[in-house]
Amino acid sequence: MSQNNDKNGELENSPIKGIDRREFIKRTAAGAGAVAVGMVMGGCGTSSSAATASTVAAVVPSKSAWKFAVMNDTQWTQTDDGYNPDGTPVGIIAKLNQEFINKGVKFVVQTGDLTEKASSTGTTTATKTVNGTTTTYTYSNTAAEDMRALFAQTLYNAGIGFFPLRGNHDSAATTATEFQRAFPQAQNGQMNTTPADVLSLTNPDADLQPSPVKTGSAFTVGSNFSSPSSSVNNLKGLSYSFDYNNARFVLLDQFNTVDGFNADGTTAYAVGTTIAGQQSWIDTALAGKPSSGHAFVFSHKGMITEDHVDVLFGSDPSATNSPGLDAFITSLKNNNVGYHFCGHDHMYDRSLVATSDGTTAKVMQIVGASNSSKFYYPASPSNDVTYCSGKRQTLVKQELNTIGYCLVTVDGSHVTVEYYSAPAYPAPVNGGVIATTPTLTFTKRETFGYSLNGTQFVVAAGSAYTTVQDTSTAGSGTVAKVLAGSNGYTVTDPSGRFFSAVVTTGWYAANATASDILFLRGMSASLGSSQTDIFALSLTYDKTKVTDAQIQAGSFALAAPDDSGNWTNAVNKSTGGTKKFVLGAWKSSYPLGTYGVDTTSGTVWAVVNYNGYFAAVAGV
């Protein structure tokens, strides 16, 4: 066999399949619907090549993978239209519940603001208009909280758990007490045990939005529940942690306790100091996560956000006014917390948030999209620039004016987050509202993740991806390298800041492959598209797993799973380009669609424009 002879073996020379990007164009047109930032406007192919299907199963992800979902603020601030009672957007909640049922999640976490009018005692007078007829009704703060609890019943009926948090809109001490009663699962994981009076709550919209009827029996989700301790358990079931499978979940409540004191039971409660008072419990909870497992943290307010100035530790994210924030971020980093999920800002925003020096520790924060009637818009200049000299935050992705949720899949060492959304079309577009529940057709907008056995790389806009290099610890010692490509997205957010790509690697052990399986994610892509910047990727391979004949024929290559779950030549899944085989080393002049085997270095390589699973596979 000729070794590394750079001969072009053109086994195929045909266009590679393209994808329809009309949905992306529709969402970003006119600025009135979803505003997407963090995208690459690349060319697309328009026709498909006929690739011979492989019969080698990729077997990723594994059959033991499991899912949970994260939703956010559920507030209805407008006139009740007959579907959204007691300041609660039941029309949106009902559609999200169906999404979660269809996706087969084990449970749902909500990051606070369960309703609009539960932050103070007393009654609220609501206006209701249906078919031109206007009426009024009144409800209490506890009834508003109970309305949210009532419409979680749909999830329980489907065998799905629900773990809520409070927010600043359900911050009253009496709401805290009612939360403990209406959501007993926050103390013990017992689902479908909502109190009878909550299930029979008066529903002023029952004719158009009927209350769910309880079915089935109680069931338990999670184990090892704990809360910050004090002599009166004033945060029991408000801030809480639990385990599910190989992950620990820590949910943080920073609002009025049942007795007006912080976690120690003696210091007077204050919204800016209560989480700092819980830090020792947070440290213990995170340190005790399952062995070789994951940890996720949830709160209502974020560490730093785009519209709201107030944050988890104080009135703004500066070191002066959020004195406990650095210790919190350091704790999350030291305990390998995968993600910090929060709400409050009513927009989808993903970023790395750092300690005040910008370098000591960084954690990925995911601010969830609105599940409400109201939407916010990023400040300019940004809160990071105004309060932190631009040191705390590295932007990764952002989408405005949508209703959305995150679907999280845990597969052993690997975590994958899929963000789904639907355009809401608020008025005005820079911080507006909707008057009725829109038609919500949810589509996947982005996929990202991390792996405990992989590495994270932050690639600034305009910078090269060639820093992405990793060696597998999954068994074969496979080496992955990005040989070429750069983060081509140079558009800025509304405050003028650029977006970085957070690229992650992960590894599965070889399985009928000539290498371990690389899980590559995070290169820049348009929201709503799987197409990334064009890049060249190589993997080393085990030379005992392939024959000279397979190499010469071009049927041994860098491969990726096809839609049927079988391995296919990696370039078959690219958007655009022309498929061409090279027996020899990669060269910088090779365009999209070129793939090859370098027998001297023992690598397979390909020029592609998507992320996912990759391996060296014979017979493709």
- Mean pLDDT (the chain) is 91
Q: Is the pLDDT of residue 42 over 80?
A: no
Residue at 217: amino acid letter: S
Q: What share of the chain in percent tops pLDDT 90?
A: 86
- Going by C-beta distance under 8 Å and a sequence separation of 6 or more, which residues neighbour residue 338? 294, 295, 296, 364, 415, 450
Distance CA 109, CA 165 (A): 8
Distance CA 347, CA 80 (A): 23
* pLDDT value of position 23: 37
230-234, 381-385, 561-565: lowest mean pLDDT where?
230-234
Confidence label for 119 from pLDDT (cuts 50, 70 and 90): very high
Distance CA 504, CA 468 (A): 8
Of residues 266 and 99, the one with the higher pLDDT is 99
Confidence label for 59 from pLDDT (cuts 50, 70 and 90): confident
Q: Using one digit for the tens of pLDDT, what is the confidence trace for 378-433?
A: 999 999 999 999 999 999 999 999 999 999 999 999 999 999 999 999 999 999 99
Q: What are phi and psi of 413, to 5 degrees?
A: -80, -5
* 618 neighbors 547 (Cβ within 8 angstroms): yes
Q: Is the pLDDT of residue 140 over 70?
A: yes
523: closest CA among 486, 560, 478, 577? 486
pTM: predicted TM-score of the whole model, two decimal places: 0.92
Q: Is the pLDDT of residue 48 over 70?
A: no
Confidence label for 54 from pLDDT (cuts 50, 70 and 90): low
Q: Using one digit for the tens of pLDDT, what is the confidence trace for 443-480?
A: 999 999 999 999 999 999 999 999 999 999 999 999 99
* 16 neighbors 577 (Cβ within 8 angstroms): yes
Residue with tokens 């309703």: 115
* pLDDT value of position 525: 80
Q: What share of the chain in percent tops pLDDT 70?
A: 91
- Going by C-beta distance under 8 Å and a sequence separation of 6 or more, which residues neighbour residue 307? 345, 346, 347, 376, 377, 378, 379, 431
Q: Using one digit for the tens of pLDDT, what is the confidence trace for 564-619?
A: 999 999 999 999 999 999 999 999 999 999 999 999 999 999 999 999 999 999 99
- Going by C-beta distance under 8 Å and a sequence separation of 6 or more, which residues neighbour residue 360? 326, 330, 354
Residue 261 carries which DSSP code?
B
Q: Using one digit for the tens of pLDDT, what is the confidence trace for 291-346?
A: 999 999 999 999 999 999 999 999 999 999 999 999 999 999 999 999 999 999 99
* pLDDT value of position 53: 52
* 87 neighbors 595 (Cβ within 8 angstroms): no
* pLDDT value of position 30: 32
Confidence label for 19 from pLDDT (cuts 50, 70 and 90): very low
Average pLDDT over residues 544-554: 95
Q: Using one digit for the tens of pLDDT, what is the confidence trace for 237-254?
A: 999 999 999 999 999 999
